Structure 1
Amino acid sequence: MHDPQPMTSDTRFHGIGSLVQCVIAAGLVAMVARSEELAFLTPYLTVMLAFTLFDRYLRRRHPSVLKELLRPGVPVSDKLTFVGGGLLLTLHFVVALLDVGRFHWSGECPPEIRVAGLVVMTGGFAFAAWAMVLNPFFSPIVRVQRERKHRVVTAGPYRLVRHPSYLGLSIGAIASGFALGSYWSLIPAVAFVLVYARRSGFEDRVLTAELAGFSRYAKLVRWRMAPGLW
Structure 2
Amino acid sequence: MIARLVIQTIVWLAIMGGLLFAAAGTLAWPAAWLFLLEVGVLGIGAGVWLARRDPALLAERLSLFVQPAQTRWDKIFMASAGVSWLAWLVLMGIDGARLHRDAMPLWLNAGGALAIVICIVATCAVFRANSYAAPVIKIQAERGHTVSDTGPYAYVRHPMYSAAILFLVGLPLMLGSWWGLACVPLLIAGLGYRAVLEERTLMTGLDGYANYAARVRYRFVPHVW
**TM-score interval for Structure 1 and Structure 2 normalised by the shorter chain:** 0.7 to 0.9
1:181 positional shift: 1.0
Residues 71-86 of structure 1 correspond to what in structure 2 (within 5 A)? Answer: 71=68, 74-86=70-82
Distance 1:140-1:120 versus aligned 2 partners, 3 A rule:
closer
2:144 to 142, 146, 149: 149
TM-score between both structures, scaled by the size of structure 1: 0.77
Residues 1:23 and 2:19 aligned together: yes
- Give the drift of 1:204: 1.4
- Aligned twin of 1:227: 222
Query: Given the superposition, is the C-alpha separation of residues 132 and 83 from structure 1 closer, same or farther in structure 2, using an over 3 Å criterion?
Result: farther
Q: Would the aligned equivalents of 2:71 and 2:138 in 1 still touch at CA under 8 Å?
A: no
CA distance in 2, matches of 1:46, 1:79: 30
Segment of structure 1 superposing worse, 19-28 or 131-140: 19-28
Gaps spanning 5+ residues in structure 1: where?
A: 1-12
Shift in Å, 1:171: 1.8
User: Percent of aligned positions with the same letter in both sequences?
Assistant: 21
User: 2:5 — aligned with what?
Assistant: none
Q: What is the CA distance between 1:52 and its match in structure 2?
A: 3.7
- CA distances 1:122-160 after superposition (whole Å, capped 9, x unpaired): 212321243135322122332322222110112221122
Name the structure 2 match of 1:5.
none
Matched, 1:115 2:106: no
Q: 2: CA distance between counterparts of 1:46 and 1:29?
A: 20
**Cα pair distance change 1:174/1:27, threshold 3 Å:** same
Q: 1:172 aligns with which of 163, 167, 172?
A: 167
Q: How many residues align?
A: 212
2:67 aligns to what?
Answer: 70
1:88 aligns with 2:70: no
What displacement does 1:211 show?
Answer: 1.4
Aligned mates of 1:209, 1:94 — CA distance in 2: 39
Residues 1:102 and 2:91 aligned together: no
Change in 2 beyond 3 A, CA 1:80/1:50: farther
- Report the CA distance shift for 1:178/1:130 in structure 2 as closer, same or farther (over 3 A): same
Q: CA deviation at 1:185?
A: 0.8
- Cα deviation, 1:79-134, whole Å, max 9, x if unaligned, reads 122233233222222211211211124x0111112212221232123212431353
